[in-house]
């Protein structure tokens, strides 16, 4: 196979030049990191699961008219996506207090928030992705006022979709992070959901037991990450059978 040009390598994914202009191949690695890569491991099968789960969620977004970068899955670890300029923000939506919000504000993990709360972090690993306000975003020109309105609307729509999909399989969507891409269409620019949506970037708790089914299993040493992600995939019908730990994939 012809050698592809690597465009970027991040902590969990590699981006290669795509086969057609305006496309990118997104390769999901098995690497897991937490606390800005202070904690690292290779988790056999994680990339395969996240490739399938991100495909599942992005396809669902497309079906309800939420624009996103996903074009098609190529193989077990790769998907073809639209090339876009990533807005340098991590957009976090929270339905229940957890993680850094619980620490910052002293709210017990699991407390239901009065309404979904959207937070923005500036995407810069060397700074540890600090929380920023819309004032910083506007003043430093990371996104315009119109962009911020579009980003808020996308984030809340993704939240409604993801909350519903998860609720249907007995999982609470506690919070999640998305990234936003800018694409140009003639004279216009449009914002779309980019990067990935997977248990790496969400907090997912079993509604009955409270069991964590997301990357906190790795962050907090709570057991097998692939078991947790496989359980999410199995409930969503992305993987067949019961208690599949090794990703045996359906087409
Ligand atoms: P936090 O509580 O640590 O700020 O995380 C909020 C949500 O964002 C949680 O679902 C995990 C996700 N997240 C990422 O996807 N990437 C990150 O680098 C961090 C810190 C959080």
Is there an atom of ligand 1 within 6 Å of 175 CB? Answer: yes
Question: How far is residue 115 CA from its own chain's centroid?
Answer: 21
Judge whether 92 and 176 are in contact, CB under 8 Å.
Answer: yes
Separation of 203 CA from ligand 1 center, angstroms?
Answer: 8
Residue 109 pLDDT more than 80?
A: yes
pLDDT confidence of residue 2: 63
Which atom number of ligand 1 is nearest to the Cα of residue 176? 10
d(CA 237, CA 116): 27
Separation of 5 CA from ligand 1 center, angstroms?
Answer: 30
- The pLDDT tens digits for 60-98 are 999 999 999 999 999 999 999 999 999 999 999 999 999
Separation of 185 CA from ligand 1 center, angstroms?
Answer: 31
**Which protein residue's CA is at the shortest distance from atom 14 of ligand 1?**
201
Separation of 186 CA from ligand 1 center, angstroms?
Answer: 34
**Which protein residue's CA is at the shortest distance from atom 18 of ligand 1?**
36
**Which protein residue's CA is at the shortest distance from atom 4 of ligand 1?**
100
pLDDT confidence of residue 219: 98
Is there an atom of ligand 1 within 6 Å of 173 CB? Answer: no
d(CA 174, CA 94): 6
Which atom number of ligand 1 is nearest to the Cα of residue 215? 11
Is there an atom of ligand 1 within 6 Å of 212 CB? Answer: no
Binned at pLDDT 50, 70 and 90, residue 181 comes out as very high
pLDDT confidence of residue 240: 59
pLDDT confidence of residue 250: 59
Which atom number of ligand 1 is nearest to the Cα of residue 200? 15
- The pLDDT tens digits for 206-235 are 999 999 999 999 999 999 999 999 999 999
**Stretch 184-193: mean pLDDT, rounded?**
95
- The pLDDT tens digits for 22-49 are 999 999 999 999 999 999 999 999 999 9
pLDDT confidence of residue 239: 80
Separation of 175 CA from ligand 1 center, angstroms?
Answer: 8
Domains and CATH numbers, the chain: 6-84+225-236 (3.30.200.20), 85-206 (3.30.470.20)
Q: Name the maximum alpha-carbon separation found in the chain.
A: 53
Separation of 234 CA from ligand 1 center, angstroms?
Answer: 23
Torsion of CA 235, 240, 241, 247, to 10 degrees: -100
d(CA 206, CA 173): 9
Torsion of CA 147, 149, 154, 157, to 10 degrees: 180
pTM of the full predicted structure? 0.94
- The pLDDT tens digits for 137-179 are 999 999 999 999 999 999 999 999 999 999 999 999 999 999 9
Best mutation site among 13, 99, 162 for ligand 1, i.e. most ligand atoms within 8 A of its Cβ? 99
Residue 248 pLDDT more than 50?
A: yes
pLDDT confidence of residue 3: 77
pLDDT confidence of residue 140: 98
- DSSP character string of the chain: -PPPPEEEE-SSEEEEE-SSTTEEEEEEPSEEEETTTTEEEE-TTHHHHHHHHHHHHHHHHHHTT--BSEEEE-SSSEEEEE--EEPSEEEEEEEE--HHHHHHHT--TTPEEEEEEEEEEE--GGGT--EE-HHHHHHTTSS-HHHHHHHHHHHHHHHHHHHHHHHTTTEEEEEEEEEEEEEEETTEEEEEEES--STTSEEEEETTT--B-STHHHHTT-S-HHHHHHHHHHHTTSS-SSS--S-----
Residue 244 pLDDT more than 50?
A: no
Is there an atom of ligand 1 within 6 Å of 177 CB? Answer: yes
CA angle, 164 as apex, 162 and 167 as ends, to 5°?
A: 105
Separation of 198 CA from ligand 1 center, angstroms?
Answer: 12
């Amino acid at each position: 196979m012809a050698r592809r040009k690597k465009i970027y390598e991040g902590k969990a994914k590699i981006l290669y030049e795509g086969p057609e202009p305006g496309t990118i191949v997104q390769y999901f690695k098995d690497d897991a990191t937490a606390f800005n890569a202070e904690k690292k491991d290779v988790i056999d099968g994680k990339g395969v699961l996240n490739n399938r789960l991100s495909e599942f969620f992005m396809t669902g977004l497309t079906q309800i008219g939420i624009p996103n970068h996903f074009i098609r899955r190529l193989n077990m670890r790769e998907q073809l996506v639209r090339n876009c300029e990533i807005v340098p923000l991590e957009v976090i939506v929270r339905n229940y207090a957890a993680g850094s919000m619980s620490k910052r504000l002293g709210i017990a993990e699991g407390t239901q928030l009065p309404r979904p709360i959207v937070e923005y972090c500036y995407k810069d690993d060397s700074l540890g992705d600090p929380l920023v306000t819309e004032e910083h975003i506007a003043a430093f020109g990371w996104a315009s006022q119109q962009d911020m309105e579009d980003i808020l609307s996308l984030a809340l729509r993704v939240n409604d979709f993801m909350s519903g999909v998860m609720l249907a399989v007995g999982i609470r969507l506690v919070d999640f992070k998305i990234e936003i891409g800018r694409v140009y269409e003639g004279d216009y620019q449009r914002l779309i959901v980019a990067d990935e949506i997977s248990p790496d970037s969400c907090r997912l708790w079993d509604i009955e037991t409270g069991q964590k089914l997301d990357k906190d299993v790795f962050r907090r040493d709570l057991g097998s990450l692939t078991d947790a992600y496989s359980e999410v995939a199995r409930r969503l019908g992305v993987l067949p059978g019961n208690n599949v730990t090794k990703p045996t994939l359906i087409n």
